[in-house]
Every structure is written in C-alpha cells, then in structure tokens.
Structure 1
C-alpha cells in the first residue's frame, strides 16, 4: 500500500468491542505498556488503556496493509527521555503519524501518512471547575460563544477535544491553548455523520459517538477518514 495516498484514518469504539476482537490481546503490547497497564488501580482504566493501545496498532496495520502483529509501537517522552509515555510512534517508520485516546469505556486511535491527533471524551467525566478552565483553554470569543450555548459544558467539551487533538500534533501546548482561536467553528453536532472543518492549514473532524455520547475530534494536515472498527480489523487480524 502506498503510504502517501489518502489521509489519516481514525476509529472510535467501545473498549469492550476492541478487546473482544479475536487476535488482539496483551501479548501485542510492549513490556513497558504491560507494566503501565498493570500499575493502573482501577480495572476499568486498565481495560481502556489496553483497548486504546491495541486499537492504535489495528489502525496502523490497516493503514499499512500488514498483520496487526507487525507494527511495533514505541513511546518516549521528549521532556524526560523515558520510554512508556509521550506521543506514540512506529519503530522504523518515522513518516507514519499515530495518536490514541481513551475515556470511560470508549477509545479512539488514528494512523496516517502525516501527523494526526485524536481525542475522545465522555460528557460528565470531569475536567475540574468549568469557569477556571475557560481562562486557560478558551480565548475571549470562544468563551463568549460557549457561555451562550444552552449546554455550555457540552460546548466547552467540544472545544476541549479539538484543542487536545491539536496538542497531539504539536500545534499548541497546554500553556498556549487560549491563544488558538476556534470561535469560527460551530459548536453543534452537524448530524449523524462526522462534521468536517478547516482551521488554517488543518483539517478537523468532529463526531459524537451515538451510543455513548462521547465527543471525538481528529486533526491533521490532510482530511481525516472515520472508519468503522469492523472495516479496520478486516484482513489484518488472524482468522
């Protein structure tokens, strides 16, 4: 498969769906990932972690047209230079962009021939005091638009996942979130399918997962494709 053709793909699914797929399991994870999973105190968090780290491998395998056992995921923090956290990457394939995210019972992952960022959040999972977050996350125009919505918490979450996805491609940091003005983007769901927007040179994809209500955002310099879990699994999983 030509890695330069097409844009990144993103998949969002319930953790239980991913973990139920045949051929997926902890044996695919690195020792560092297994150690991190084992250190999580809540079983629900451990399962979400496992599902997200397996799903990103599934996305990479689908993108490359290889068995799911082939992609080797690595993570190394640019700040402390320690493995096991930081942005995910594929060993030996520096041109492939990866991203993953998990929330309560829902996971998302992305893979593409260019950098891609994805974030998924469940409404009501808690982000501290909303008013306190506004000043750190939203600019003045964004904050006014969010406050005017019938559901300001939901509107804020929509901007939050967009900006979290932008963090993951290195376009913004936690300290500069409020400097990125996304007030021109709509805060309402466009309908049952994914909504697509532009911000400068970036393509943004918004979606609300219909079963869980989780909000998803994916960002890249190329259009992002939302792909069903079953299609992604396809021929990359063992029979």
Structure 2
C-alpha cells in the first residue's frame, strides 16, 4: 500500500534522475525547485550526469517533503530544509531535517531517492550501484567481525547500503567506520535488520529496511520505527501536470 499525504509513518520515493528532470521540464526545469546554494553546487559537477543526479535528488527530497506537509509543489522552495550534525553541531553537514520532520536523500549513477518521516523516526536513505568488483579493503572497512567474507558482491553491497542508511539516519555518516556496526535479523520482521553498536548510542538500535530498486542498484531506508517505509506515489509528489514520468 502506498503512503499518502498526512500519513505519520516513513515514506520514500526512488526513481531515475531522468524521470525527475522530465517531470519538471514543463514547469521551469529542476532549477525551479533548487535554492541558490544548491544551484551553485550543481554547477560544480564536471559531468552532465553527476549534475543531474545532484539536482534530481534535492528536488525529489523537497517535493516529497512538500507533499507530506500538504504544500503545493510550486511553493516547495519556501520550505526551510536544514542540516544538523548531532556529533559536532554543524549546520553544513549531518542529518537533513525540517521542523517536525526527518528527511534523507541519496543518489547513485542515474537513480535518486528520498525518504521522509516524523522527527523521532530519524530517517536515513541510501541507494548504490552494484559494481562489478569491490575495492581491495572493502571487507575490512565495511564488514563487521564474524561476517562471512565469502559473500558475493551483491551480498556485500547489501551490507554497505544498509550500514550507510543507518549511519545517515544517525546523522554521523562515514565518520563512523561501517565495520563497527553489526547487523542482525530483527525478530519476526522479514528482511529487516537491526544495528548493534553499543559504543555509538545514536546508531545502536536503528532498524534498516531493504527496499526495491533498479536491477542494477540496491537501496535501503533506516529508521527507529518498526513499521516498514511506504512507497509514495510519484504522480502525487511530482509537479501537477507532469506527463513524462520515466519508470
């Protein structure tokens, strides 16, 4: 069942960057939904693809937040989305948030996602392209002690995506080495994993839910809530009158 506006739980959207771009093409383009700082950041990317991914992820996050609040997409730029690091208090990095709301975004090689939930949910989202091979130190950097190194690339990337989502939900990101986080099955909830990391209270106890992505990618949403995140309806979230929603 898709999550709808006003639903108090965690909702998410995942789609191609090209789909976000196409949906915005009739209403002024993606820049119409970016702040001046975001537009400046977008111009720093060297390739068209990377610039589009950056813009699409931020646009999708803003539109998803607007939908959750019942704000028209045309007015979404008025929303004040901030960042806060619970570790050092910085406003230039860390967990994305709005008053009364927790937000997260991610992008990877043509696919973007955004997730939203109540503040207490502490949402974190991650999507990653499955590479043909992993870097040499991947196992020692990502896998916790006792995790089988015999897993294939996809299985190991599932660990990476899950832990990245968890660390983003905690607001700490890769300031915490992923191998220090252990993942365990969360009882009777199929596919759901629970983070154990007693030395990091912001991480310990967070749940992570793998979610469907493209065949080439893996994705996950982390939160402190028990219920799984709900897939939002792109037609409801993207600008009204969008006629070219890439699938």
Provide the TM-score with structure 1 as the length reference. Answer: 0.78
Distance 1:27 1:79, change over 3 A: farther
Partner of 2:220: 217
Partner of 1:188: none
Residue 154 of structure 1: how far off its partner (Å): 1.0
Give the root-mean-square deviation of aligned CA atoms.
2.8
* Contact 2:166–2:207 (8 Å) recurs in 1: no
Indicate the SS of the match to 2:157: helix
Distance 1:127 1:103, change over 3 A: farther
CA distance in 2, matches of 1:119, 1:44: 18
Residue 136 of structure 1: how far off its partner (Å): 1.9
Indicate the SS of the match to 2:95: strand
Residue 25 of structure 1: how far off its partner (Å): 1.8
CA distance in 2, matches of 1:148, 1:125: 16
Distance 1:2 1:238, change over 3 A: closer
Matched, 1:158 2:184: no
* Contact 2:82–2:91 (8 Å) recurs in 1: no
CA distance in 2, matches of 1:51, 1:173: 21
Partner of 2:52: 47
Indicate the SS of the match to 1:141: coil
Provide the TM-score with structure 2 as the length reference. Answer: 0.75
Matched, 1:123 2:130: yes
CA distance in 2, matches of 1:34, 1:125: 32
Partner of 1:31: 36
Distance 1:39 1:2, change over 3 A: closer
What are structure 2's unaligned runs of at least 5 residues? Answer: 196-204, 242-247
Match of 2:15 among 13, 16, 37: 13
Residue 167 of structure 1: how far off its partner (Å): 0.9
* Contact 1:141–1:183 (8 Å) recurs in 2: no
What are structure 1's unaligned runs of at least 5 residues? Answer: 186-194
Counting matched residue pairs gives: 214
